[in-house]
Structures are given as C-alpha cells and as structure tokens.
Amino acid sequence: MSNEIWQDFVRQLSEQGIRFAPGLTDGEVSRVQERHSFLFPLDLREFLQTGLPQGEQFPDWRLGTESALREWLNVPRAGVLFDVEHNEFWLPEWGPRPGDLASALRFVGELVSAAPKLIPIYGHRMMPDEPQSEGNPVFSVHQTDIIYYGFNLADYLRHEFNLPGREPWPAKIQSIRFWDIDLFQDVRWAKGPCVFDNRRGILP
C-alpha cells in the first residue's frame, strides 16, 4: 500500500483521540527486529513508520521496556501451553501426546518457538511475521481461542476502530504456517467449555 493510505489511517485514528509519536526510523525498526528476533511484515512496518500509536494497549517499540515487550510477545506461547495443560489441547498433526505433562509442554513449547511470531498491534490483536509481504491476517488471541479479526492490516484497523471503508471478506485469506485458525478452533472446543486464564484481566 502507498504511504498516503497509512497517513490517512493515522489521520482518522488521530481524529478518534489516538495519539501518535513520530514513526519508527529504519534504525529503530532494525534494532527492534534484531532484539526480538522477528521481522515486521511490510504493511505493519509501513504503518509504524508513518506514525507510532501511543497508549496502554499499543506496544511502544521505541520506549517500551524490554521485559514488557518480551512478555507481550510471549502471550501466544504462554496461552497455547496453558491450554495444553488445562484444556487437553493437542493438535492431531503433533502425533501422540506424551504421557507426562512436562514432556508435552516441552514438545509444544518448541513447536511454538519455531512457528511464525505473532506481533502485538493492539491489546491481544496480533499479526504473524510470516510471510514477509503485505496482506497477512490479524488475529485476536486468547490462548488457543484464536480468531480472525481482519483479513489484512487495513481491514483490521477499520474493524477495530470502526473506520469507514471496510471491504467484503475475500474468498481466501493468507494461510500462516502452524497457526491454522480453523483447526485450532475445532480442537479447542471439541470437548465443550474450556478454562480461561484471566490473570491478566478478562479480555473483551
């Protein structure tokens, strides 16, 4: 997308009261990516380089503490492990589940660590860092209760912040390695109600 489109998003969001700091520089982007071992998808990078949104629910890639950002980035992994332990979550493609919990958690932890990272955008809305292109979907992430919240970044921003111009949902959404949302939902709810970990607060 052109920079003018992201400038328009910054303008519309500013009109809703969201504050913006100057966008990330190329050097700041490089430092964040190296420090946290991920690459911003192209459209997310362009948006954050147009303006850096400010507020409690937005990650501050410039001034945020290392511990807070690392904890935020660890939310998907911690959520999957919680469901493996408390909700018997186990995908068929993972093979037979180990008999002891420690082995199961170690196995799944390694799988999640090797999967595309989910980058926080706003609260528990996250975008995968693969593929390195435009058009990755945005997920709403609460443990393995993961749903699509936008078929791309622009659609997500319009959805989350009630901006005009949402387009029809496309016939096909970019698939993401490991994060098979339909399969996650099928397995998560296969045995009925699940335990939610709301120690960080009940999510909307």
Number of domains present in the structure of the chain? 1
- Cα dihedral: 117, 122, 124, 128 (round 10): -20
Model confidence band, residue 200 (pLDDT cutoffs 50, 70, 90): low
In a domain, 198, yes or no: no
**Domain span at 53:** 3-188
* Nearest-angstrom CA–CA distance, 70 and 8: 30
Task: Tell me the HSE value of 28 on the side-chain side, using a 13 A CA sphere.
Answer: 15
133 Cβ contact partners less than 8 Å away, ≥ 6 residues apart: 41, 42
CA angle 162, 166, 172 (to 5 degrees): 130
Domain contains 94: yes
| Tokens standing for residue 28 | 């700041």
- The string of pLDDT tens digits covering residues 114-164 is 999 999 999 999 999 999 999 999 999 999 999 999 999 999 999 999 999
The distance of Cα 29 from the centroid of its chain, to the nearest Å, equals: 18
Flag whether 195 is in a domain. Answer: no
Whether residue 116 has a cis bond before it, omega within 30° of 0: no
Residue 203: what pLDDT? 56
168 falls within a domain: yes
Confidence band for 201, pLDDT divided at 50, 70 and 90: low
> Does a structural domain hold residue 194?
no
Q: Could you report the per-residue pLDDT of 163-198, keeping only the tens digit for each? A: 999 999 999 999 999 999 999 999 999 988 999 887
pTM (two decimals)? 0.94
The pLDDT of 79-97, averaged and rounded, is 97
